[in-house]
A and B are shown apart, each in its own frame.
Chain A
């Protein structure tokens, strides 16, 4: 079975400050890992994904995430927050089981203070 834990349901950052969203997963096999962003009243947009290869993955809007197998983590970071980063962020894992199902974490809502 696969599962995802996102630490902190709400995160508040100042504009220009580091954004760090934590994600830990459990999977019996090497996983595919994803970060999605959801703006208010919209669908999910892919920020970045890890499948194989380089463990530091760069995504859209200046976000990046690092796959750390030893820590079973896939934390999302952005060096300098922008007001437009206010949204909800979801970490997800696919361990390649039948149907290639995505399992999501509970989400982290980011508030950016001016």
Chain B
């Protein structure tokens, strides 16, 4: 089925470890996004990519980096994980006002 695929679904990291969250879409959308979801705060934008070859900071970019590898793939990297980065991470893609979300990655940093 067409959509947005995120890997992994669950991850536990130790403080200071690094990891990359992967996201791929097969809908030929130009724009892709990374959000984090925390209780009572809704979803907050970390980084986005309006088109292949561009990336921009969102509301909460500190501690994260992104790579728009090609039109399909948009990865999120935590270089040195901190407990404050414990969250659920969602990737999304969009085209002409329609948005599709992945199923999320639940990350715990201990």
User: Is chain B's interface secondary structure helix, strand, loop, or mixed overall?
Assistant: strand
- Using a Cβ cutoff of 8 Å, how many contacts connect chains A and B? 55
User: Complex Cα distance A28/B33, Å?
Assistant: 22
A interface, size bucket: 20 to 34
Assess whether B50 is in contact with A42, with CB atoms less than 8 Å apart. Answer: no
Assess whether A43 is in contact with B90, with CB atoms less than 8 Å apart. Answer: yes
Chain A CB within 10 Å, residue with most, of B42, B94, B99: B42
Complex interface: chain A residues within 8 A of B90 (CB): 43-44
User: Complex Cα distance A51/B98, Å?
Assistant: 10
Assess whether B99 is in contact with A99, with CB atoms less than 8 Å apart. Answer: no
User: Complex Cα distance A26/B60, Å?
Assistant: 20
Assess whether A100 is in contact with B103, with CB atoms less than 8 Å apart. Answer: no
User: Complex Cα distance A34/B100, Å?
Assistant: 12
Q: Interface digits, B19-47 against A, CB 8 Å rule (1 contact, 0 not)? A: 00000000000010101000011111100
Of the A-B pairs whose beta carbons lie under 8 Å apart in the complex, a sample of 13, sorted by A's number, is: A34-B99, A42-B103, A43-B90, A43-B101, A46-B99, A49-B97, A92-B43, A99-B31, A100-B50, A101-B45, A102-B33, A102-B92, A104-B44
What residues of chain B have their CB less than 8 Å away from a CB belonging to chain A? Answer: 31, 33, 35, 40-45, 48-50, 56, 58, 90, 92, 94, 97, 99, 101-104
